[in-house]
Structure 1
């Protein structure tokens, strides 16, 4: 039986969370529902339909583009398979209608590439013979799994480089919404920066969208006008990188390699790759062994830092990469207390290491981060 410590290190639910959700640990090390139905029946590739529901346009060169590459990897791995997708699905009743449409079209598996909550959950409950996955999902079912990435580790690494390259220590962040992925990203970034610049701060501006180039550009401009000299964010496009390029500042990006939009400003990017995950899950669905899993894809296995930008000094890259190597080879975690929130309250006791689930569900800002907590 795999240990609780090893389970946490690999990115699966911790045992306390698993028990609370009615989940059990299988011999393979994957968390499954305690009362899961039998694996769904096998499907021939040429008779299968795999559907993808996206939060943004597949042309965004960011988050949705990365998931679309995963769909293309599935098509390449299983010749003859049929795929379908809908992009820019709103967070409304229209989402429910679209997911129901996938089911009515005969989809054998549906991937929601963002968190659609009840809009997806209600559809999955009524379609027990369809396998569902929700990226960044929170409510598992016997036929609904969840997956996400441990982005906080490469973000911490990028934060080290950002802190070293910031003359003022004033960092800026273009946020979508005050959600856990934003809290864990901002906190990890500043914690990394403070290892080389203890007085560094991070100012955030939320634009209430995952994809809005105009709003992201305006937010990036405002942050630079407020004195920030390195920008970071979680946007699905290159708006604030172009602002940094035009203003002679620096930026760290998300999702993909976007350096061509700001080659002098580009430090790195938190890059995601879901190809292997999608191919594996579709393969299990086709062969008749699929039941839902709940996974946080690790650094080096779904998320990582991008190659360093051309203007990153060699000594800065080496310092940051030394920490990345320690994470990869020794299981090092920098998320160890004492950690205080933005109001000075101790949230993580001295010597206590945050679990993967605590990092995944992070919903408060650390000292030095402003703009997310009102």
Structure 2
């Protein structure tokens, strides 16, 4: 019995020992980890929509200055992060100030004021709305939130002058012009230089209408030039009325702003045209990216694609087209010698010396006519 008891105690001790050893080797039980609370995702920011407003001095219509600007607006509107709006036929002065201010109040991010006479109203409203960006076309006043922009349309004018100088029979070219400001004077001079390059006997007769858009007045001005013996009519006006007057008289014509061939197909030689789309899209991209800066000026060229000429009409001989296209290719390549000396004024005085080229500042402030232009800058 004792023997059995001893065996029992021995077995019990051994079992206890094995139990303790087993417990020591067993892996520590880990407390199950609670799943990490899912982080609430921050709401995704919607891409900022850029609101762009445009103020036009004439009706949009289907040709002319405001029509060309509106094609540029449509290029902006096609972007997936923009909305646009425009107001047309806004007179320069108090009315434009009211329209510009209303746009600023409605939360537009950038406002394009597209006429020279909107300059002072734009500057005034910009002071009231420093958070809004303003772009003024063709002016010279700037501010911290106001830039100027324009294109070297004088390059297109020069080419259209070459066409006109080659096509005239009377050597008298008529020019229906709006206001005697540097923008218009510069264009007339470039047209004259182009005409006289191919025809040194050509003279350019200017009639001022003192309006940007008045079809009846524009047409009457063209008729007065036709009556004076001009057989090509060019224009710095918004409507195709001068084109129509030329066709009715059996003369030739040169349009402006957009391709005006459909209005006078028998007369239309070509047009000096605008392509505002690339410039407008660039500005909107700057606003979106936060890189837009005020107090700047943009003056793009044919090389940048903002100015061009419309296809030349079927009445223009192939040799004339070839000469004009060769000069156009030079301009597109960045070779601009239009205002390279020697250039004389109406009095025969050399105002741009041989071996020099007029700087941009002089071109932007041009108030005199070159030799060959008949008319006054008043």
TM-score range, shorter chain: 0.7 to 0.9
Residue 77 of structure 1 and its aligned partner are, at CA, apart by 1.0
Higher relative contact order (CA 8 A, sep 6+): 1
Which range is displaced more, 342-351 or 176-185? Answer: 342-351
8 Å CA contact retained: 1:45, 1:78: no
The 3 A distance-change label for structure 1 pair 127 and 228 is same
Query: Is 2:370 aligned against 1:363?
Result: no
Query: Is 2:302 aligned against 1:299?
Result: yes
Q: Pick the aligned partner of 1:170 from 154, 169, 172.
A: 172
Aligned counterpart, 1:323? 327
Query: Where do residues 40-119 of structure 1 align in structure 2 (5 Å cutoff)?
Result: 47-59=49-61, 61-79=63-81, 81-115=82-116, 116-119=118-121
The 3 A distance-change label for structure 1 pair 345 and 247 is same
Aligned counterpart, 1:214? 216
The whole-number CA distance in structure 1 between the counterparts of 2:377 and 2:111 is: 34
Residue 152 of structure 1 and its aligned partner are, at CA, apart by 1.2
SS at match of 2:158: helix
8 Å CA contact retained: 1:180, 1:362: yes
SS at match of 2:271: strand
Aligned counterpart, 1:130? 132
Residue 242 of structure 1 and its aligned partner are, at CA, apart by 1.1
Residue 45 of structure 1 and its aligned partner are, at CA, apart by 5.6
The whole-number CA distance in structure 1 between the counterparts of 2:165 and 2:361 is: 27
SS at match of 1:125: helix
SS at match of 1:89: coil
The whole-number CA distance in structure 1 between the counterparts of 2:138 and 2:122 is: 12
Residue 359 of structure 1 and its aligned partner are, at CA, apart by 2.1
The 3 A distance-change label for structure 1 pair 137 and 330 is closer
The 3 A distance-change label for structure 1 pair 44 and 119 is farther
Residue 46 of structure 1 and its aligned partner are, at CA, apart by 5.7
Aligned counterpart, 2:149? 147
Runs of at least 4 residues off by over 6 Å: none
What are structure 1's unaligned runs of at least 5 residues? 1-42
SS at match of 1:195: helix
Query: Is 2:346 aligned against 1:342?
Result: yes
Residue 371 of structure 1 and its aligned partner are, at CA, apart by 2.1
The whole-number CA distance in structure 1 between the counterparts of 2:249 and 2:346 is: 30
Q: Which structure has the larger Rg?
A: 2
Aligned counterpart, 2:244? 242
8 Å CA contact retained: 1:46, 1:82: no
TM-score scaled by length of structure 2:
0.84
TM-score scaled by length of structure 1:
0.85
Deviations 1:59-111 (A, max 9, x none): 151110111111111111125x3322211211222221111111111111111
RMSD of equivalent CA atoms: 1.7
Number of equivalent positions:
331
The whole-number CA distance in structure 2 between the counterparts of 1:89 and 1:320 is: 37
